[in-house]
A and B are shown apart, each in its own frame.
Chain A
Amino acid sequence: MFKSTNLDLFTFPFTNFKNKTYRYSNDLVALSEDKVNFMKITPEYKVQIKRKREMLEEQPEVRYQSFPHTMEMQWEFVELLIDLSINKYPEHFSVEKDGDQWTFTNHILGETETFIFGDESSLSLEPYDMIGRHFHNDFMLMVNRDDNFYLEVAQESFAALFSPNWNLGMSFNEIHGPVPFVSRDGVELTDRIRKFLLTIEPGAPRTRVNWNLMADRWDVNYETMDIWGPERDKVTAENAGKLVHLRVEEQWFIRMPRSNAILFVLDTQFLPLEDLVLRPEWLETTYFNLADIPDYMAEYKGMAPFLPQSVEYLENLMNSMKVK
C-alpha cells in the first residue's frame, strides 16, 4: 500500500468545476509540448512497480489481455514508451539501437531488456506487456475501427470498475453502454465522448483528470466485487481519514498513427483524506465538492455507501483546524 508523498507531484483533481461543484464533462484538454510526456518518476516508483509486477505475475488473465493480431501495434507502443522515458529521464533510462537489435536499460531497477525490434519471439513476454512493466501507469489501447474504438490490448493494475479480461474487444459504447453518464447540464455523454475521441489526431494528444474515492482499496475491479462491495460499509466518520483515499487518474489520450488507435494512459495516484490537512485549500475544495455530489453520481462511482461518512469526516477536520 502506498500514497503520494510528494504533493507537488500529486494531481489535485478539483480544478474543473463551476460554482464549487463537480460534474462529468468531456473536457479533454489539448496538451502543450512540455506536458505531453507522461513519464513521471515519483518517490513511490519502486513500490508501485513491485506491486504492478506482482499482480501481473499472480493474475496474468486478470491484468493483461491482448489479441494476437495486435503485434505491430504493440511494437509501436514499445517504441513510444522507450523514447518518452529516455527523453524525460536520461539518467534513469537508456536505449541502444543497433539496427533492429535494441537494448533498453532501466537504471533505477538495474535491469536490461534485449530484443529484436519487431520480432516477438525475441521476448518471453508480449512486447506491450514487457515494456509496460517498467512504468507504473495503466495502458489501454483502443483501436479505431469503423466509427468506434475497441479495446484490443490492456495492461492494468488499478481498476475502477474495469477489467481487461471482461472489457477486451468491447467498443467504447459497450464498455460504458447501459449506465447513465451525464454532464453538468444533463447531456448523455458516452456517445459525445466517442465522437470527441474520433477528433483526437496523431500529433495532438489530449489530457483529462478523473477522480474517485476508495474505501481501503487500491483496486476495485469486477473480479473482487464480492470483497470490496461489503467493505465499503465499514467506513465511519472516525476512520474515514485513514481508510478513504482520494483516487486521482491523470489520463492521456495519444493517437498512434500506425495502429490508428488511441493509447489511453492512466497515472493513478492516492491520497488519504487525512493528508488533506497538508494543503488546507485542497481540504476545503474537496469538502465542498464531495458535499455536493448528486446521488446518481455517487452510485455510478461506487462511493455511495461511504460518501456521507467521508463528508462528515472532512467537515470535522475543517472545524478542528479552525479551532486551532
Chain B
Amino acid sequence: MIEGAIWRRWVFSNLPLILFVVVLLFPFYWMIITTFRPDGELYRPWNAANNMPFWTNKPTLEHIYYLFEETNFARWMFNTMLIAAASTLISLFCGVLAGYALARLNFPWAGSLGTLIFITYLVPQTLLFIPLAEIIRDFRLGDTPWSLILTYPTFLIPFCTWLMMGYFKAIPKELEECARIDGASRLKAMIYIIIPVAVPGILSSGIIAFTLSWNEFIYALVFLSSPDQKTVAVGVTSELIRGDVFFWGSLMAGALLGSIPVAIVYSFFVEHYVSGLTGSVKG
C-alpha cells in the first residue's frame, strides 16, 4: 500500500504509530513510576525546580507495604478473583447451553428469543442498579460475594450466548449428524462432539467474561459495604481516599497490582481475546 521513499513511510506510518503507542501506554508508565516513588518526591509542585517527573533515583516499596499492612488489599484481590471466576463459570455454563440451543435447535420462537438475548446484551448496568440493589437486599444477599456472583452473569451471559451462537453456527451440521447416525443421543452429540470442537470459542468468551467482571464497578460499589467484602476497584476507591486526601502512592500501587491478574490472563490469551472481541462485533 505505502509506496515511495523511506522518509514517507516514517512520517505517514511509523511516527504516528509510535505516537499512538506512547499516548496509549503512558498512563500505565505513570502508574508504575508513582508506585515506586517516595512520598517526598511525589508531592513536589508541578513547577518546582527539582521536579523530575519521569524517573526516580530512590525507588521504594513503602506504598506496596502500606497496601498490605494498613488495608485489606490482599482480601480485595481474593474477593475480586473469586467473584470474577465464579461469575465467569456460571456465565459460560449458561451461555454455552443457550448458544447451542439458539444456533442448532428448531423450536417455536427461536428467532425472537435470540433477539431478546441480543437486547439484554445492550442493557447497561447503570439502568438497573437502584432497583437491583433493592432486590439484592430483599433476597438477603447484600454485602456478600453472592450479590455479585449472581448479578454479573446478567451482562456476561448475553455476551457469551451471542459469541457461542456464532461459533456453533460455524461448525458443520454433518459432524453432529454422523454421531447421531452412530446412535448418540442429541445430548451426547452436543456434549461429546460439538462442545469440544467449540473450545476456542469457549476460551474466548471465558477470557472476555473474566476481564469484564474484573472491570465491573457500579454493582460492586452499591451492593457491598463492609471493607473486607469489597473488590479491588471499590476498595481502592473508598479506602485509599480519606475525605479530600488521596494516598496517591498507595492508590497507584493498588491500581497497578489490581491490574496485573487481568494483564497476565490477557497476555496468555491475546489471540483468543482478540478473536472473541472481533467475533462479538461481527455478530
**Bound pair (A, B):** no
Residues in A lying within 8 Å of B, measured CB to CB: none
